[in-house]
Amino acid sequence: MLDSIGTVLQALWQHDFVALQSPGSALVIYACVTTLILLESAFLPAAPLPCDSVVILSGTLAAVGVLNPVVIYLLLLVAAGFGSYLAFVQGRWLNRLPKVQGWVNAVPSNRLQTVDKLLSRHGLVALFCARFIPVVRSLLPLMMGMRVHSRAKFYGFAWLSALLWTALLVGIGYLLPSLPEPISKAVTMILMAAPVITLVLAIGSWLIVKLRRQWRKE
């Protein structure tokens, strides 16, 4: 069993489509894919996992008959939505720590009010966009756990954004086999590179803002 799990995880990481089509591997693929999405959506240390490309690959495997499209979609939806909930709970728990409370209290009240308004008005858009950016995918729900007081509102945002994100990526993966092979390969490469590019842009923007603030202080 452990050998099968290791083989499937390696095939998912390397996008070895041939290995994933081996007979009897469907149940292991369901378990591995669901676990990867749950971990990456809930915990910051799991951010390097290639979850966007794994979801697309799951759609492609469903298109060729390896996986059941309804089953894999529902599993991915539950993993993404529940993962965001776990990140939200972590934010609630961290907010009770005295040191974290000290960090929050050090922020000017008008800035915190601005954050609250943005999260309240644009929660769905923020969560949906965050799902395409590694690290931010689990960081934003954690921050919302610290700042959003209405759990019901967060649950609605989290599950609806998970539904849209999963449907979009699984749908793209499902359509890839019907495209000409050169176009299919190009689209796959772009989709695999997109999360890395967005992460680099996000880190670069943060560094630029920090350096500008430091320069103004000096």
Q: What percent of the chain has pLDDT over 90?
A: 11
The larger pLDDT score, comparing residue 31 to residue 94, is at: 31
End-to-end CA distance of the chain: 60
Q: pLDDT tens digit string along 119-142?
A: 666 666 777 777 777 677 777 788
**What is the rounded CA–CA span in Å between residue 104 and residue 53?**
35
Q: What is the mean pLDDT of residues 38-55?
A: 79
Q: What is the mean pLDDT of residues 80-96?
A: 85
**What is the rounded CA–CA span in Å between residue 159 and residue 33?**
18
Eight-state DSSP code of residue 150: -
Range of the domain at 119: 2-217
pTM: 0.73
Whole-number pLDDT of residue 78: 94
Domain count, the chain: 1
